[in-house]
Amino acid sequence: MYDICIIGSGAGASPIAYELSSAGYKVVVLEKGEYYKEEDFNKDELAVSRRDMFTPPLWEQKHIINEYSQSGKFTRYDGEESGWNFWNGSLVGGSSNLMSGYFHRMKPKDFELLSSYGEIKGANVVDWAITYDELEPYYDKVEKVIGVSGKVVKHKYQEPRSSQDFPYRELKTNGVTEWFDAACKELQFSAIPTPRAVLSQNALGRNACYYSNFCGSYGCASGAKGSARAALLQKCKAEIITDAFVYRLDSKEGKVTKAKYYTKHGISHTVNAKIFVLAAQAIETSRLLLNSKNKEFPNGMANSSGEVGKNLIFSAGGSGSGRFIFENLTKEQQQELMQVGVFFNRSLQDWYDYNDGCHIYKGGTIDFLFEHQNIVSRASREMYDAEGNLLWGEKLADRIQKRLTTSRVLTFEVFNDWLPTDNCSVSVDAEVEDKYGVPVGVINLNSHPHDLEVGEHLAQKAVEVLEKMGAVEIEYSISASPPPNLVAGGCRFGNDARTSVLNRECRAHDLENLYVSDASFMPTGGSVPYTWTIYANSFRIADVIRKALRV
């Protein structure tokens, strides 16, 4: 019998495993993926660009996707046939191994979206069950324990902090950041050094960054990236069982009694514990609860409210880019532009909310970064000429040579709220099963038109900066297509058991020993990447569970 059984091993799971195993409790972590460590990671572009090295193949573990239009009609896609993939990291540490580590805190108004901005027709907007001030000590803890590098620069939307600055100095940056800062000063924008969950110096038993610029989609070979595995799980005393796909939870008299899992060979095992923590990723967490039906919960475990799987959210926004070409630059600027490895690391939050003359809107964050170092994806974008004709042989080689050695692309990413709606949710399919014989998740996709309006406003501000810096070939796309690596909701927390799945402590209203600590608890997502908030809340829940175990 374990004290705590944790399902999943990512940012929502690892703080609980780390804190409670360190406190002497018997903790087991069930992870369906493999255990990769620093020595297992490399910069194999083909493994990431052309193969799904860290995610399940869709022919074994598919999704069904229903894409809704604004009229309410939907198109059904089979994940295997369409290639539409919502797996975002199946390995110890989860997708935190593959993140770029752009760490922004949510702002106080993010916790009070309804109170601050009012109702939005067609959106299920609510305030959070906790405030920014309640989570702030845990944001601070993440900086120190996970390791966040950066520099606090005061600006209009700077959130309150209990510590004056980040514990680790800024990462090294490219000389082009000075062009950016100068352009922003001219435009009267506030350039912010982007905080990163990447160590700029040897610390916490981990190495400093090697500056390969292969963060996103790649595991970190140095250990500098603050993944759940490197920062917490490799240091804690929890037992970690890999190759463990949890397919069912059993319950009796208001308590979870067992977690059942299959190995990849289909062998079933059972784990007993006093407390169960579900952190399997927002889509999979809802899927597991919905598949865990019994007499007590005929519609799925913890689902007396009917809210499990509802109000799924992603991160709205999009991306854009501009190219700097040698012909427009001095020799010194050319050398700065082509500096290898060092980061760009600049962000804008001047429009975290904004007034269009009639209304105050919730805005968002713009992160600027160089295009990914992956040579396969960069070269693939050069296969066509300006007229759209496919290039071959010497013409293609010459184009790739010129584009990669005499120009460089600066990209930007826009983050704004994906408003929760009735038609964005998770359910399970009545007919389609995965390789284990378990009903697959159905991902119902629907976005609110408001999301695109805000994203468009932010993208146009980013374009102003690129134009002022002298970039050419500027383009951007604001899309309603959801990013699979930024998913939350499905088990939102709240004070009313009739309209939420979890209470303010992320314990299921219906079960006294079940907690959900991944991004599922989030009723709204804010206008920043989620990972820092997931980590912070998980440290908060670790304290809650510690108190419960003492009773």
Instruction: Say what the pLDDT of residue 388 is.
Output: 86
Instruction: Say what the pLDDT of residue 62 is.
Output: 92
Interstrand relation of 239-241 and 2-7 (parallel, antiparallel or unpaired):
unpaired
The architecture that CATH gives domain 2-550 is 3-Layer(bba) Sandwich (3.50)
- How far lies 518's CA from each of 237, 274, 376, 488, 532, in Å? 21, 19, 33, 8, 11
CA distance linking residue 77 with residue 454, whole number of Å: 28
CA distance linking residue 180 with residue 469, whole number of Å: 6
CA distance linking residue 207 with residue 199, whole number of Å: 7
CA-wise closest residue to 8 among 251, 215, 245: 245
Residue written as token pair 């952190």: 279
Residue written as token pair 């904004």: 354
Residue spans of alpha helices (H) in 370-485: 375-380, 393-405, 449-469
Listed range (37-46, 318-327, 344-353) with the worst mean pLDDT: 37-46
- The pLDDT of 276-289, averaged and rounded, is 98
Instruction: Say what the pLDDT of residue 495 is.
Output: 97
Instruction: Say what the pLDDT of residue 375 is.
Output: 86
* pLDDT at 149 exceeding the cut of 80: yes
Interstrand relation of 353-355 and 360-362 (parallel, antiparallel or unpaired):
antiparallel
Interstrand relation of 255-262 and 245-252 (parallel, antiparallel or unpaired):
antiparallel
Instruction: Say what the pLDDT of residue 50 is.
Output: 63
Coil vs helix vs strand at 381: coil
Interstrand relation of 364-370 and 439-445 (parallel, antiparallel or unpaired):
unpaired
User: Where residue 169 falls among pLDDT bands split at 50, 70, 90?
Assistant: very high
Instruction: Say what the pLDDT of residue 30 is.
Output: 98
* pLDDT at 48 exceeding the cut of 80: no
What are the strands, taking DSSP E only, across 21-63? 27-30
Q: How far is CA 155 from the centre of its chain?
A: 25
The DSSP output letter for 149 is B
- The pLDDT of 9-19, averaged and rounded, is 98
Instruction: Say what the pLDDT of residue 49 is.
Output: 66
Instruction: Say what the pLDDT of residue 374 is.
Output: 86
Q: Using a pLDDT cut of 70, give the percent of the chain over it.
A: 99
Per the CB < 8 A criterion, the answer to whether 220 and 196 are in contact is no
* pLDDT at 182 exceeding the cut of 80: yes
CA distance linking residue 183 with residue 176, whole number of Å: 11
- The pLDDT of 31-52, averaged and rounded, is 86
Per the CB < 8 A criterion, the answer to whether 171 and 222 are in contact is no
Element (H, E) at 546: helix 531-550
Q: Report the predicted TM-score, pTM, of the whole model to 2 decimal places.
A: 0.96
User: Where residue 45 falls among pLDDT bands split at 50, 70, 90?
Assistant: confident
CA distance linking residue 99 with residue 45, whole number of Å: 16
Cβ burial of 44 (10 Å; 0-12, 13-18, 19+) is middle
Instruction: Say what the pLDDT of residue 419 is.
Output: 97
Residues in the chain: 551
Q: In this structure, what token pair is assigned to residue 3? A: 């004290």
CA distance linking residue 132 with residue 129, whole number of Å: 10
- The pLDDT of 281-287, averaged and rounded, is 98
- The pLDDT of 245-256, averaged and rounded, is 97
CA distance linking residue 273 with residue 25, whole number of Å: 11
